[in-house]
Amino acid sequence: MNALSSSTELALFGGEPVRTTLLPYGHQSLTEDDIQAVLDVLRSDWITTGPKIDEFEEAFAAYVGAKHAVSFSSGTAALHGAVVAAGVDQGHEVITTPLTFCATANVVLYQQAIPRFADVTPDTLTLDPSEVTRHLSSKTKAIIPVDYAGHPADLEEFLSLAEHRGLVVIEDAAHALGASYRSRSVGSVSHMTVFSFHPVKHLTTGEGGMVTTDIDAYARQLRSFRNHGIDLDARARQRTGQWYYEMTSLGYNYRLTDMACALGLSQLSLLTRNVQRRREIAQCYKDKLGSATGLCLPFSRSDSESSWRLYPVRIDQKYANGKRDEIFRALRAEGIGVNVHYIPVYLHPYYRTRFGERAGICPIAEKVYTELISLPMFHGMTDQDVNDVVEAVDKVLSHFVAGAC
Ligand SMILES: Cc1ncc(COP(=O)(O)O)c(C=O)c1O
């Protein structure tokens, strides 16, 4: 739609950009049915903690093949709930990856526990099981692997480690709704799996999150935790004609609204199609950029299927050493909304101030961080959008990468 000329002069230096309007790196897609579903709730008796909560949770649990799904007001709140249900408390340690959004580790701090960062594997950039083993201690309570970009982490390795050491595996699957791991849906493998429904994800409720689990005790605790530590919610009390309730533990108001759940339920009906579209886009990038000099595409293992929340490419140091930021700026100037995922969490100023300088503790994550650029990836992208990205990447690389054609 926005393709302009095939000028080879970079827009960064005054040439014609590939697009005149910026293609975002992620974006929601809402249908008229989605909008109608929210309007229907607005005209009903319950706009929060009503019937849509149960409907959405049941449909979501069935989709991923889990016994329980417990909704939360955000993915971060859902992670916090999972950490609390796992029993993480003051003085405990939780091992996680530095290559993630800071929320993954922040929820450990919410509990006055300590996040320990273990390095990632060089292929999938997910938490490395052997690095996790190095960081285990008598204080370790849980492991939080992240399904980076939508590719499942080494879940069975973490589960077997957890079994030997009495730990809990909380999978951060904020990127991986719709992904599969050894023929099982993400959401049905770990002790608890956490999803996010932020607008750039596969399914959105505006803000929102979910924890799936097969363990009844975790589901009970999660429901209570999101509702101030009170076991009976308002609707359940109304149903049974009771006013009496007790708060039995310290919880929060982390409830998702009925409006949001109606949107989630409606979005769920298109999830399979939307994940499929993301896979088509990833395949197209692979076909068209697979042989580009200076570019490493994301790796997929044969036992897993990513759901492609992100499409993070790496600028090969051999060809374009230190030029990631210039390439990033040049792509933006071409109208391509690239991004970077992620600054290793312990390099953020808050973590540096609180825990001291720890540069060097995860060398793979730190090196990869200097090479990463996330190309646009969302299911609403048109074929033309994908072609614009490919054209812009080719154009920019041919300028910056020594030896590129
Ligand atoms: C890996 C990861 N974990 C957790 C979160 C937090 O989710 P939310 O934004 O829904 O709170 C995000 C959000 O992008 C994320 O990417």
Q: Which pLDDT band, with edges at 50, 70 and 90, does 173 fall under?
A: very high
Q: Choosing from 52, 139, 141, 201, which is the catalytic residue?
A: 201
* β-strands 372-375, 140-144 pairing: unpaired
For ligand 1, whether the C-beta of 76 sits within 6 Å is yes
Q: Which pLDDT band, with edges at 50, 70 and 90, does 4 fall under?
A: very low
Q: Which is more confidently placed, 246 or 23?
A: 23
User: What are the backbone dihedrals phi and psi of residue 239, each rounded to the nearest 5 degrees, phi first?
Assistant: -60, -40
Strands of 372-375's sheet in order across: 295-296, 311-315, 372-375
pLDDT at 90 over 70: yes
Give the list of residues 6+ apart from residue 187 with CB closer than 8 angstroms, or none.
Answer: 63, 64, 65, 66, 173, 177, 193, 195, 212
d(CA 15, CA 90): 56
For ligand 1, whether the C-beta of 26 sits within 6 Å is no
List alpha helices for 177-229, DSSP H.
Answer: 216-225
Note if the pTM is more than 0.75: yes
Q: What's the CA-to-centroid distance between 205 and ligand 1, angstroms?
A: 13
Percentage of residues in the chain having pLDDT higher than 90 = 90
Q: Which is more confidently placed, 196 or 7?
A: 196
Q: What's the CA-to-centroid distance between 75 and ligand 1, angstroms?
A: 5
pLDDT at 320 over 90: no
pLDDT at 245: 85
pLDDT at 3: 44
For ligand 1, whether the C-beta of 227 sits within 6 Å is no
Give the pLDDT mean for 104-111.
98
Give the pLDDT mean for 107-127.
98
Measure Cα distances from 45 to 40, 259, 403 in Å.
10, 11, 65
| Whole-number average pLDDT of the chain | 95
pLDDT at 7: 65
pLDDT at 234: 67
pLDDT at 6: 55
pLDDT at 328: 97
* Residue 109 near residue 299, CB atoms below 8 Å: no
Of 168, 172, 167, 119, nearest in space to 146 by CA: 172
pLDDT at 402: 65
Angle between helices 383-400 and 271-289 (to 10 degrees): 30
Name beta bridge partners: 168: 142
